[in-house]
Amino acid sequence: MGLYRVVVVVSYKKGLKDPEAETIYRDLILKHGYRAVKELRIGKQFTLLVEAEDSEKASSYVRELCDKLMIYNPVIHDIEVTVYS
């Protein structure tokens, strides 16, 4: 058994509106002249310290947790799970 730091990023699915990102992009980034920025997406990040046999089991454990506890809405959100040893 080992301890693994697991980072979960929840963001809107590609193609869906991200209202907070649109507001920041329009009202801050573009208004202040940062025209090289072409897109902004915002996500929520969760960092968990998980005890597991290996990194694959830590990842699947956290994915199950996110699904069962409805940490995100799979209809409108994607999740990205990254495990660090």
For the whole model, what pTM was predicted? 0.84
Question: What are the extents of the domains in the chain?
Answer: 2-16+42-84
Secondary structure of the chain as H, E, C letters: CEEEEEEEEEEECCCCCCHHHHHHHHHHHHCCCCCCCCCCCCEEEEEEEEEECCHHHHHHHHHHHHHHCCCCCCCCEEEEEEEEC
- CATH number of this structure's domain 2-16+42-84: 3.30.1280.10
Strand partners, 10: 44, 79
Of all residues in the chain, the percent with pLDDT exceeding 90 is: 96
For residue 55, give both structure tokens. Answer: 């990194």
Indicate if the pLDDT at residue 81 is higher than 90.
Answer: yes
Residue-wise pLDDT for 30-66, tens only, equals 999 999 999 999 999 999 999 999 999 999 999 999 9
